[in-house]
Amino acid sequence: DAGVTQTPRHEVAEKGQTIILKCEPVSGHNDLFWYRQTKIQGLELLSYFRSKSLMEDGGAFKDRFKAEMLNSSFSTLKIQPTEPKDSAVYLCASSGQASQNTLYFGAGTRLSVL
């Protein structure tokens, strides 16, 4: 079974650019999460979708971060415009009925904003 797939694995952006991160959840999972991981803040929830509907759009991240779930097997996270403080690892995770509580994480996208 394929796990959660994230692309790209690494992204380098200039300040002010727009970047789009992609995620494919585990097939059949209907919950999808975007987290940002930094050493200072740990794992911060950015967005949460259930059956493609946006359940939560992390308050502090609303202005420049926009997550979408175009279909049940694909999600994007757009950061526009990027700032150096956005440098972090962005993790996508999914869970579903069969796995009940377990979140399966992707390998992450490491973003560096110069």
Partner 1 sequence: GEQVEQLPSILRVQEGSSASINCTYENSASNYFPWYKQEPGENPKLIIDIRSNMERKQTQGLIVLLDKKAKRFSLHITDTQPGDSAMYFCAARWAGNTRKLIFGLGTTLQVQP
Question: Binder to partner 1 among 22, 45, 68, 87 (CB under 8 A)?
Answer: 45
Question: Binder to partner 1 among 2, 42, 60, 98 (CB under 8 A)?
Answer: 42
43 belongs to the binding site for partner 1 (CB under 8 A): yes
Report how many residues bind partner 1 under the rule CB under 8 A: 21
74 belongs to the binding site for partner 1 (CB under 8 A): no
Give 9-41 as a DSSP string.
SEEEE-TT--EEEEEEPPTT--EEEEEEEETTT
Question: Binder to partner 1 among 16, 102, 112, 114 (CB under 8 A)?
Answer: 102
Rounded Cα distance between 110 and 12, Å, is 8
For 52: left if phi > 0, alpha if psi spans -120 to 50, otherwise beta; the answer is: left
Two structure tokens written together for 11: 């992204």
Site residues (vs partner 1, CB under 8 A):
4, 31, 33, 35, 41-43, 45, 48, 50, 55-56, 91, 95, 101-103, 105-108
